[in-house]
Amino acid sequence: MSALLEVDDLRVTFGGTAAVRGISLTVQKGETHCLVGESGCGKSVTSLAVMGLLAKGGKREAARLSFAGDDIRDYDEKQMSRLRGDRMAMIFQEPMTSLNPAYTVGSQMTEVLRRHRGTPRAQAVDRAVELLTRVGITAPGLRLGQFPHQLSGGLRQRVMIAMALMCEPELLIADEPTTALDVTVQAQILRLLAELQKDLGLGILLITHDLGIVARVADRVSVMYAGEVVESAPTAELFRAPRHPYTRGLLSCVPVPGKVKRDEPLGSIPGVVPRIPPGFTGCAFRDRCNFAEAACAGTIPRRNVGPAHEMLCILPEGAGA
């Protein structure tokens, strides 16, 4: 059986800038695949490229880009928009910017069904009420008549999730869905997503910078740096035995409650994410890496370093651990 989403050697350029430089990943039905990385690493561009939503000037190339077995590389805008919001849905970081402030929650939610399925209004309203209840919103009837600005951040994000589920999608792409929320609400929203995934068999591509979220919800993790996936592994394996120096650096930066020592410095990665000029070769992390050597400027092979564990680094096993 083919995966729900298959991406092979995806490349995205904006003019002379390579934002995504050959990314491969798959999302299975019922699986959560996390793309993790810092700002500017290309994780959001990857998700936009998959959905065919790149900004003007963005160019996408891929050896393979398929959704539920269908090649969607050559889909035109009309075919893509039929897919988006229907079988493939999205949630973004800031619900206030992705909800239309001029329309009520109800009209935005029902529009999805009416447009994709031609469902009559009354039925669409019933479905909206059902989903708002499902995502834990009390008094859904009242919420349908409200405008986005009348809702709290947590409620808005719940509305976004309910809206994304209107057409029973198979794939959910969530770009930093809880970053703008309080930790208490974040936990509630992530629990909700996990529950929905179990009930509906959703495949989720979750984009985040937060390693705590990754550890708790992902089945598989891909760590991105400067437009590439530098390491990819099942979640438990990645946290147990991180191999790439960047992944290890990232993990050492996170203060872990109960395990931090006051007044002891946190690990940190010196320097900043570099700009990648066209024609760049070698490891993009080498300027910040403690283990860099001359060979890092050459071509870096992607290699297997464990069960379903890949990395883009020449560091031999056991080195620098």
Partner 1 sequence: MSTPAIEVRGLRREFRASQGLFAPPRRVVAVDDVSFSVPAGSVLGVVGESGCGKTTLARMILGLLEPSGGEVLVDGKRLDGMDRRARARLIQPVFQDPFSSLNPRRRVRDIIAMPLVAQSNVATSEIDRRVAESLERVGLSTEQGTRFPSQLSGGQRQRVAIARALVLRPRIVVCDEPTSALDVSVQAQILNLLAELRRDLGLTYLFISHNLAVVEHVASEVAVMYLGRIVERRESEALFRDPRHPYTRALLDSVLTPEPGLGVPDVGLGDIMPDPANIPPGCRFHPRCPACFAPCATTAPRITSLEDGLVECHLAG
Window 25 to 84, contacts with partner 1 (CB under 8 A)? 38-39
Q: Does 232 bind partner 1 (CB under 8 A)?
A: no
Contact window for partner 1 (CB under 8 A) among 1-9, 98-106, 207-215, 279-287: 207-215
- Residue from 73, 116, 209, 309 binding partner 1 (CB under 8 A): 209
- Residue from 66, 188, 232, 247 binding partner 1 (CB under 8 A): 188
Q: Does 94 bind partner 1 (CB under 8 A)?
A: no
Q: Does 139 bind partner 1 (CB under 8 A)?
A: no
Q: Does 3 bind partner 1 (CB under 8 A)?
A: no
Residue spans of beta strands (DSSP E) within the chain: 5-14, 17-27, 32-36, 58-61, 64-67, 70-71, 88-91, 171-175, 203-208, 220-225, 228-234, 302-306, 309-312
Written as six digits, the tokens of 165 are 């589920």
Residues in contact with 259: Cβ distance below 8 Å, sequence separation at least 6, in sequence order: none
Could you give the 3-state DSSP secondary structure of residue 219? coil
- Residue from 200, 215, 241, 292 binding partner 1 (CB under 8 A): 215
- Residue from 63, 142, 236, 319 binding partner 1 (CB under 8 A): 236
Contact (Cβ atoms closer than 8 angstroms) between residue 5 and residue 66: yes
Residue 200 CB: number of other CB atoms within 10 A?
15
- Residue from 69, 145, 267, 320 binding partner 1 (CB under 8 A): 267
- Residue from 42, 106, 140, 154 binding partner 1 (CB under 8 A): 154
State the Cα–Cα distance between residues 70 and 74, nearest whole angstrom: 10
State the Cα–Cα distance between residues 264 and 268, nearest whole angstrom: 12
Q: Which of 274, 281, 316, 276 is nearest to 300 (CA)?
A: 281
Length of the chain: 321
Q: Which is nearer to partner 1, 127 or 158 (CB)?
A: 158
Site residue total, partner 1 (CB under 8 A): 54
- Residue from 173, 250, 296, 314 binding partner 1 (CB under 8 A): 250
Q: Does 16 bind partner 1 (CB under 8 A)?
A: no
Written as six digits, the tokens of 46 are 């990857």
Site residues (vs partner 1, CB under 8 A): 38-39, 136-138, 152-155, 182-188, 190-191, 194, 209-218, 235-236, 238-240, 249-258, 260, 262-263, 265-270, 272
